[in-house]
Chain A
Amino acid sequence: MAFCSNCGTKLEENEKFCPNCGTQREQVANAQNAEASAEPQVVVNNGNQNENYNAAVMGASGKLDTPSLVWSIINLIVCCQPLGIASLILTILAKEAPTAADEEKKLKAAKICNLIGTIGAAVIYFCYIIFYVFIFAMASA
């Protein structure tokens, strides 16, 4: 699998030119594999270079999505711990995702986990408050 170095469209094996922008296909496949396997051990002063290459070739941002991170932390603390952990891991995986599409997918999964956790917790807390007020009202009546 390779991607157009100009617009990031996925190129089939037999396609020599990008069907989207017409740029000639470059030999980026090997570079991609090296990139993917080198990612965890990247030396600090090469970090920016690899990120720029990542973003330029494959369209992924390579950055940690802060709103998703904060929401995951909120979930971990006050809502649902397992879902909070799941969404935090998904957000981290989205940062390391090789393509923009993959990153979007992981961020969307993280968002769904966060949503379920937050709404579930909100419903439970709300029921707790209603229940408590109800009991109080009954007791003092």
Chain B
Amino acid sequence: MRILVGVGAPALLLLTALFALWFEKTPPCIFYEATGLYCVGCGTGRALLSLLHGELYAAFRYQPLLIPLLPLIAYCLLKYYIACVLGRDLLPLPRIRARFVGIAVLVLILSYWILRNIPAFPFYYLAPTEV
């Protein structure tokens, strides 16, 4: 199991990156196809693709939320990868004690979802745009 994850996870990551780089294509968003409105994740694929090419600003314009979230998500994935492969929990991730952090995250994500779709200043910076 450890070996499976230890080798499989980076291999999967590499394959996905290679696929994206080769085909320049990212999976479509079901919400967008169905309603025409941007969902929370719209642009994430294109943003990651831009990052692979090294274009930081383009990545930001596709998905601004990625700037704070990508380090956090990468840290968590790394933490669980190390914990699974080495068996020891090396990267700490303490529980949050402060009040209303959970509710703040929920409100933030939902308002981001709604605000992205407003085609007015300054909200069009939140929508995925090509640069």
Chain A positions near chain B (C-beta within 8 angstroms): 42, 44, 47, 51, 61-67, 69-71, 73-74, 76-78, 81, 85, 88-89, 91-92, 95, 124-125, 128-129, 132-133, 136
Contacts and interface: CB of A to CB of B under 8 A. Distances in A.
Interface string B86-124: 000000011111010111011001100000000000000
A124 to B, nearest CB: 8
Instruction: Identify whether the interface residues of B are mostly helix, strand, loop, or mixed.
Output: helix
Contacts of B19: 129, 132-133
Interface of B: 16, 19, 23, 25, 27, 31, 39-41, 44, 65, 69, 72-73, 76, 80, 93-97, 99, 101-103, 105-106, 109-110
17 contacts: A63-B95, A66-B96, A67-B76, A73-B73, A73-B105, A76-B41, A76-B109, A77-B40, A77-B41, A77-B65, A81-B39, A85-B110, A88-B105, A92-B103, A129-B27, A132-B23, A133-B19
B40 A81 contact: yes
A78 B41 contact: yes
B27 A73 contact: no
A87 to B, nearest CB: 11
Contacts of A128: 27
Contacts of A81: 31, 39-41
Most chain A CB within a 10 A radius of its CB, from B76, B80, B94, B110: B76
B73 A70 contact: yes
Nearest to B65: A77
A125 B109 CA distance: 23
Contact of B109 (A62, A70, A73, A91): A73
Contacts of B72: 70
B34 to A, nearest CB: 12
A47 B101 CA distance: 14
Contacts of A78: 41, 44
A124 B69 CA distance: 23
A136 B24 CA distance: 13
Nearest to A42: B99
Contacts of B94: 66
A132 B101 CA distance: 40
